[in-house]
């Protein structure tokens, strides 16, 4: 039986001291950490505080003094699998016996190897679902850090509601995956999940997308209609124009659209409200149920578990199965991961593809990290303090160049026939993107961080200005 890469904590509750000792020793031998008690309230305290990944409990402890502990466990920790130890003659049925959290019921006396196998199976199914699609959506929620435990509790509360949700997090933190997980675990899972990247759309296009009335052209694409009965996900909602904000607010206030709205942003919407760039009423409607995705650097202790999930995903894609050595993990924990879990996933996929052997070693990790164009800290791959701001002369030269362009454009009589804003933007974007990609050696994830753009938004903008896939994309 394989030992887990990430040590899982099993909470053992039984009246018998001998059973607690024997089970605890067996679990330790197979790579688990065991905590044992004979008290129902002690078990409840550990589980409530998210100090365990699995419960093994005798039925007498679960039913102690009518405590209804099983029901409380299932309600408080829907992510916590439970193995119930029972006597062969037990026929008592209690509330919660059919709850999905109950992974198995095992008759006493039991075989220790069978119990350990059930434990391994339970934590695999709970933390890393067998279905690869479900597993990918669950990656941002993996871990045992306080930040991710708080996120999972909030997620569980919101999954079964229809209230709007605002996901707040840096680039690469997994906002879209969490939005899809909300859809798959919510009451609208039978409906469609429709995602719209706000940053990639013009004001007119976004306004069309938010129209609810039936289109005359049945071939036209309107996300509100596609998402009817399901979930509409608006990526980078902070980039909505004033017109689209008003339209979205009306939809939320009127309740005319039969959709659940999930939105995400990397921007400080409160600040944008104060600056007059975002509607206050819309902000409060969206932020009533926020989900903050912590950056990977703030929960670096979760990296081993997330890495194991990515390696299993790679194996599901046909790549060789590899493990990560302890020295390699320690080296990876020293990195800041500005691209968060997306950067980590791409990093591991490259390591699996480029390096031989059955393990990712410290040498291979250091070799890959050495390819980074700049050691970064924080949310973005920014230049140093002395480099990041243009001089007044440089800023003035740029302003004068724009003025000269506009004067020449209007003087040529083009003002009424073409879109000046889009044309000027295209003229600026091409050299801007080219220079940033040169600085990051083609790494689009880091380029997106420097530019303050979502990775998918940058990809679409690059295609529009003619910078194609020949650039390195990581």
**CA angle, residues 200, 206, 185, in degrees to nearest 5:** 80
> What is the token pair recorded at 16?
């018998």
Q: 391-465 adopts what CATH topology? A: Arc Repressor Mutant, subunit A (1.10.10)
- Rounded distance, CA 424 to CA 314, Å? 43
Q: Quick one: pLDDT at residue 122?
A: 82
Mean pLDDT is lowest, of 91-95, 237-241, 273-277, 425-429, for 91-95
- Range with the poorest average pLDDT among 109-123, 190-204, 263-277, 377-391: 377-391
- What's residue 300's pLDDT? 93
Residue 117: how many CB atoms within 10 A of its CB? Answer: 13
pLDDT in the model for residue 35? 93
State pLDDT tens for residues 419-459: 677 777 777 887 788 788 877 777 787 788 788 887 778 88
467-471: long-range contacts, CB 8 A cutoff, minimum separation 24: 467/430, 467/433, 467/434, 467/437, 471/437, 471/442, 471/444
Q: Are 79 and 152 in contact (CB under 8 A)?
A: yes
| Rounded CA separation 434/470 (Å) | 12
pLDDT of residue 221: 53
Q: In this predicted model, which residue has the larger pLDDT, 339 or 153?
A: 339
Question: According to the model, what pLDDT value does residue 438 have?
Answer: 74
* Fold (topology level) of 9-127: Rossmann fold (3.40.50)
Residue 376 has pLDDT above 50, yes or no: no
Confidence class for position 418, pLDDT limits 50, 70, 90: low
pLDDT for res 391? 57
DSSP three-state, residue 330: helix
Strand order in the sheet with 102-107: 33-37, 9-13, 54-58, 82-86, 102-107
Place of tokens 């003025």: 403
CATH 3.40.50.2300 occupies which residues in the chain? 9-127
Q: Are 312 and 128 in contact (CB under 8 A)?
A: yes
- Residue given tokens 């840096």 in the structure block: 170
Q: Which residues neighbour 301 within 8 Å (Cβ) at sequence distance 6 or greater?
A: 143, 144, 145
User: To which H or E segment does residue 11 belong?
Assistant: strand 9-13
Alpha-carbon distance of 339 to 455, in angstroms, equals 10
CA atoms within 13 A on the CB side of 212: 14
Q: Report d(CA 379, CA 113) in Å as an integer.
A: 46
Asked if the model's pLDDT at residue 148 lies above 80, the reply is yes
pLDDT of residue 130: 37
- SS3 state of residue 271: helix
Percent of the chain with pLDDT over 70: 80
High-pLDDT (> 90) share of the chain, %: 27
By three-state DSSP, how is residue 417 classified? Answer: coil
Find all residues with CB under 8 Å of 29, minimum gap 6, and list them: none
pLDDT at residue 99, rounded to an integer = 64
Over 50: is that where the pLDDT of 382 sits? Answer: no
**Smallest Cα–Cα separation from 462: which of 424, 429, 440, 425?**
429
Tell me what the mean pLDDT of segment 172-179 comes to. 91
- Look at residue 218 and tell me whether its pLDDT is greater than 70: no
Q: Which residues contact 140 (CB under 8 A, 6 or more apart)?
A: 173, 174, 175, 177, 178, 181, 293, 341
pLDDT level of residue 397 (50, 70, 90 thresholds): low
pLDDT at 392: 53
Question: Is pLDDT at 379 greater than 70 in this prediction?
Answer: no
**pLDDT band for position 372 (50/70/90)?**
low
Sole residue written with tokens 């016996």: 97
CB atoms within 10 A of CB 66: 7
Distances (CA, A) of 141 to 50, 78, 152, 177, 299: 14, 14, 6, 10, 11
Please tell me the least confidently modeled range out of 84-88, 245-249, 444-448: 444-448
Domain(s) of CATH 3.40.50.300: residues in the chain: 135-292
State the pLDDT at residue 75: 79
CATH 1.10.8.60: which residues of the chain?
Answer: 299-369
Integer Cα distance of 69 and 81 in angstroms: 14
Residues in the chain: 474
Residue 17, pLDDT > 90, answer yes
464 or 129, which is more confident: 464
Q: Quick: pLDDT tens for 335-362.
A: 999 999 999 998 998 888 888 888 899 9
Q: Kindly report the pTM of this predicted structure.
A: 0.59
pLDDT at 473: 33
What is the assigned CATH class of domain 299-369?
mainly alpha
The confidence score (pLDDT) of residue 184 equals 87
**Helix axes of 420-439 and 455-465: crossing angle, nearest 10 degrees:** 110
The DSSP element (H or E) to which 151 belongs, if any, is helix 146-159
- Under 8 Å between Cβ of 86 and 110: no
In the chain, ranges of CATH 1.10.10.60 domains = 391-465
> Cα dihedral angle (325, 331, 337, 342), rounded to 10 degrees?
-10
Q: Which tens digit of pLDDT belongs to each residue from 25-53? A: 999 988 888 999 999 999 998 988 778 88
User: What mean pLDDT value characterizes the chain?
Assistant: 79
Best-predicted range by mean pLDDT (68-82, 126-140, 277-291, 370-384): 277-291
CA 232, 238, 239, 241 dihedral sign is positive
* pLDDT tens, residue by residue, 278-290: 999 999 999 888 9
**What CATH code would you report for 135-292?**
3.40.50.300
């Amino acid at each position: 039986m394989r030992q887990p890469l990430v040590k899982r904590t099993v909470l053992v509750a039984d009246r018998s001291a001998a059973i607690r000792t024997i089970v605890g020793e067996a679990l330790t031998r197979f790579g688990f950490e065991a905590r044992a008690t004979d008290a129902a309230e002690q078990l409840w305290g550990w589980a409530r505080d998210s100090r365990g990944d699995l419960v093994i409990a005798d039925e007498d402890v679960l039913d102690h003094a009518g405590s209804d502990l099983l029901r409380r466990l299932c309600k408080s920790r829907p992510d916590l699998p439970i193995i119930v130890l029972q006597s062969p003659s037990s026929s008592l049925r209690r509330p919660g016996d059919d709850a999905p959290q109950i992974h198995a019921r095992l008759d006493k006396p039991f075989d220790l190897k069978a119990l350990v196998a059930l434990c391994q199976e339970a934590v695999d199914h709970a933390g890393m679902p067998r279905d690869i699609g479900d597993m990918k959506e669950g990656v941002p929620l993996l871990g045992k850090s306080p930040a991710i435990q708080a996120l999972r509790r909030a997620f569980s509360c919101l999954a079964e509601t229809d209230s709007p949700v605002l996901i707040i997090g840096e680039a690469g933190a997994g906002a879209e995956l969490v939005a899809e997980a909300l859809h798959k675990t919510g009451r609208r899972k039978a409906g469609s999940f429709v995602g719209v990247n706000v940053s990639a759309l013009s004001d007119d296009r976004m306004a069309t997308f938010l129209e609810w009335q039936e289109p005359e052209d049945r071939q036209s694409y309107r996300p509100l209609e596609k998402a009817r009965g399901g979930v509409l996900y608006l990526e980078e909602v902070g980039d909505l124009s004033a017109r689209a904000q008003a339209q979205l607010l009306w939809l939320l206030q009127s309740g005319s659209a039969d959709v659940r709205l999930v939105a995400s942003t990397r921007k400080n919407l409160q600040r944008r409200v104060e600056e007059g760039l975002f509607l206050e009423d819309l902000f409060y409607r969206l932020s009533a149920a926020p989900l903050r995705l912590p950056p990977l650097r703030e929960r670096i202790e979760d990296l081993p578990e997330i890495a194991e999930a990515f390696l299993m995903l790679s194996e599901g894609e046909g790549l060789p199965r590899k493990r990560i050595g302890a020295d390699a993990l320690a080296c990876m924990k020293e990195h800041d991961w500005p691209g968060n879990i997306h950067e980590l996933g791409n990093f591991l996929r490259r390591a699996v593809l480029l390096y031989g052997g059955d393990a990712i070693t410290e040498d291979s990790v250091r070799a890959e990290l050495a390819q980074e164009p700049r050691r970064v800290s924080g949310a973005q791959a920014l230049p140093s303090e002395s480099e990041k701001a243009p001089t007044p002369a440089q800023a003035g030269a740029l302003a004068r160049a724009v003025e000269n362009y506009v004067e020449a454009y209007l003087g040529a009589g083009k003002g009424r026939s073409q879109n000046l804003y889009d044309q000027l933007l295209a003229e600026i974007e091409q050299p801007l993107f080219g220079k940033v990609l040169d600085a990051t050696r083609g790494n689009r994830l880091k380029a997106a961080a420097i530019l303050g753009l979502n990775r998918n938004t940058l990809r679409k903008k690059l295609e529009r200005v003619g910078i194609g896939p020949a650039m390195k994309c990581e």
